[in-house]
Amino acid sequence: MIRRWIPVALLVAMIALPYSNLTVPVLFDGALNSPGTLQLLAICLVFGGLALGYDLMFGRTGMLSFGYALYFAAGSYGTAILVEQTTWPLWLVAIATIVGSTLLALVLGAVALRTTGIAFAMVTLAFAQVAAITVARNPGRLTGGEEGLSIPGARLPDALVGVVNTVNLYWLALAFAAVAAFVVHRVADAPAGRVLAAVRDDDRRVDVLGLDPYRYRLLAFVLSGALAAAGGVVYALLVGGASPHLASADLTLSLLVMVVLGGPGTRWGPLAGGIAFAFLDHRLTAAGSSDAVAGLPSVLRGPLSQPLFILGTIFILAVYFFPGGLAGLAGRLGPLRRLMPARAGNADGG
């Protein structure tokens, strides 16, 4: 019963975090309520929510997509373009962007899901590559090409502009992560979620029962795309625009690593994996360019200055020693905790 309230307690703690001036020297450069720390935590929360959305398609339905970043980019670029090109209020821009990106996911998913397995992965990759090329070519001077597109601060609400308002962006990112968790968990607990799990395990049995696996796959595909688009909207506001790397397949591969690191198909694993990966990526990049690493011998300075090398090593070790991801740690540590009192008692008795 108590475990059911742990997520609520964590959410309340995260909401109240900006009111704390506690410092954690190793993890953060400033206090917890400093703008830099809140910005980093907000980015981690966005990618945690994105990992949850991707897990709805990959971990819970068994669809390996290499084009998930396309809908994240659609959310970011859609927000930046509409803010710059229209006089719409931000709430209308967000709704229009999410609806448009969801329709894009519906159309592309309806085509891609005519294939399965590796063919499906290749089709989604092709769609992502087309999007990346389109963004880079700057059609109609809308996307900014390789330089990306910035959002004019004058056209945003005052509550979202300026360093002093970083806390509002942090709460916005937290709201997105909470909504993503709510949607994914509600779907997983619903009858449709059990059908998605059956489709993942053996879609032929689902077909025999008179259910159409294609429709359920399309449902998971579209919901995942909608969550990615919502994350793109928040991310564009958080960083002040959109850049071409958001549409690349590399970002989708990073999301795949986040899900596997956290534990695919688990309740909170993808969220934890997304937050951990984004945090490590940022901190290792900063550490790699620090004076401490620059002063090391070349044998150590080379690999330690490459965050991707360190992240790859961590990922390999995590997969090898913890195949179930971060979510499987509780199950592995549970028997050890039960054995520790017994061993202590034996030691006292001896």
Residue written as tokens 């089709």? 123
Q: What is the DSSP letter of 63?
A: -
Per-residue pLDDT at 206 = 85
> What b/e readout covers 79-107, taking b as 16+ CB neighbours within 10 angstroms?
bbbbbeeeeeebeebbeebbeebbebbee
pLDDT tens track for 206-234? 888 888 899 999 999 999 999 999 999 99
C-beta separation of 272 from 48 below 8 A: yes
- Across 194-198, 269-273, 336-340, least confident range: 336-340
Instruction: Summarize the confidence of residues 32-54 as an average pLDDT.
Output: 94
- pTM for the complete prediction? 0.89
Beta bridge partners of 150: 241
Give Cα 227 distance to the centre of its chain: 10
Query: For residue 236, which of 12, 23, 77, 24 has the smallest C-alpha distance?
Result: 77
**Domain 2-249 has what CATH class?**
mainly alpha
Would you say residue 182 has pLDDT above 60? yes
Q: How far is CA 310 from CA 144, 300, 303, 327, in A?
A: 32, 12, 7, 21
Query: What's the token pair of residue 320?
Result: 């090898």
Q: Which amino acid is at 146?
A: E
**What helix, strand, coil percent values describe the chain, rounded to 5?**
80, 0, 20
Give Cα 126 distance to the centre of its chain: 21
Which of 178 and 5 is assigned the larger pLDDT? 178
Q: Residue ranges per domain, the chain?
A: 2-249
Q: Is 23 helix (H, G, I), strand (E, B) or coil?
A: strand
Confidence of residue 284 (pLDDT cuts 50, 70, 90): confident
C-beta separation of 90 from 78 below 8 A: no
Per-residue pLDDT at 320 = 79
